[in-house]
Amino acid sequence: MNKVLIKKLITDIRFWIIIFFVLRLFGITNAPLEFGHNWRQSLTNMIARNFFENGANLLYPSIDLAGEKSGIIGSEFPFYNYLIYILSSIFDYSHWLGRLINLVVSSFGLYYFYKLIKDLINSRVAFNATIVLTVSIWFAFSRKIMPDTFSVSLVIIGLYYAYDFLKNGLKFSLIIFFVFSTLGMLCKIPALSLFSVLSISIFIKEINLRRKIELYLVGALGFLIVCLWYFYWVLYLVETYHYQLYFTKGIVEGIHEITPLIPELFEKFYFSALQSYIALLCFLVGIILIIKNNHKYMMYGVGVIFFVFVLFIMKTGAVFPLHNYYIIPFTPIMALMAGYAIAQIPSKFQYILLILISIEAIANQQHDFKIKESQLYKLELDELTKKYIPRKDLVIINGGPSPQDIYFSHRKGWTVDNIHIMNPVFVDSLISLGAKHLIIDKSRIGKYTAKHELLHTDNYYSIYKLKKSVKIQ
């Protein structure tokens, strides 16, 4: 392989997207038992599995931890879960299919991010920004069974075709923009912050006025659909089926909640997003440079996205600082600023800087690819319930607030804390609602003895057939 060919290869972003894709295949078949964010992954899989087993109605996503209730919940539009269902229909259901879907879609998101920045600015900035984004928090979460990078990727693809429509006037591009951007925001509404950058075209006189109007009308239709889902249909599902998993709050309430958590909030920006202090420094330099160089459109674009994202933070309240993945919709902007700064130095030093950023960022996330060996016993829970608990029977499990245990039990019912498990009155109340069996995760509780019928016990689990009015010894 000659030097020209090597140079052509290493400067081709597609090569690096493929390389990083392959790297993230490590542990791709893992169940949601790795170190981070297993709760959310279990819930995502729950909805997909219920589609697979009980009928795939996109309007009525359901989970397994709602006790005697139907489990139908108001959540994000379950398009991502539906894709898992489609693959499951072809290959049978597996815990990890959502990982593969997210990784594929998020890789395309990176490619379209590159193409968009290349067309808007130049290829050098686009290359740098895409590498920074790839190894950011995106690196770990693009292989999790979660809709965050998935939704942002769809919006990025939509934005690319919005730009293409404004430039070339192709109706096909307008349709693709509508489909992808709308689906992206439906899959997780924080992706709306990126969608808001379209407002920048108002100030660009060179763009055909008719195309602007057509784009805004189509964009408004997509936004209306998103609003109907989140502010009408979700509320209807909660009011009708009486189970709420996601809690919304007003902006004022959110501000009051988040004010004491300002340090934790800022941490999401100065570390969680880019996963590299070198990249963070480049981001800050990039902000300074676009102001110094008076890049009005870039300043406006960053500003409007940041404004909308701050509104999302305030609506989220105290929950935002708890979850690092909430920063994902803003990470492409931070990567763009970092990429712009890196592009200002000589070419050979750019590559050195990108290598250092990649090493630091991946090193900070490598643990996220590993399974907690102490949790592997949960994989056997499904086989135990198949043996001892009829498929339609409701169960109680001492999983605390986590949905993980009831997900692996493959049964519907209640996941409760140990205090409630030890309370016979509380257990009786659930028996009255239809609970038939009790599953005790021994790793979560000390010695537990009850006058229920013991069906099975081992080092990890005890399974009881429930009866009313027992005395806990």
| pLDDT tens per residue, range 287-318 | 999 999 988 888 988 999 999 988 888 888 87
Return the domain boundaries, the chain. 3-369, 373-465
Residue 472 has pLDDT above 50, yes or no: no
Classify strands 413-415 and 435-441 as parallel, antiparallel or unpaired: unpaired
| CB atoms closer than 10 angstroms to residue 228 | 12
Quick one: tokens of 147?
């809709």
The candidate with the shortest Cα–Cα distance to 95, out of 25, 31, 27, 24, is 31
Confidence (pLDDT) at 247 = 57
Residue 137 has pLDDT above 50, yes or no: yes
Residue 471 has pLDDT above 60, yes or no: no
pTM: 0.93
Share of the chain above pLDDT 90, in %: 72
Quick one: tokens of 249?
């709050």
Confidence (pLDDT) at 246 = 60
Cβ density class 153-187: b for 16+ within 10 Å, e for less: bbbbbbbbbbbbbbeeeeeebbebbbebbbbbbbb
Residue 248 has pLDDT above 80, yes or no: no
Distance CA 86, CA 79 (A): 10
The candidate with the shortest Cα–Cα distance to 70, out of 45, 47, 39, is 47
Quick one: tokens of 374?
């102490």
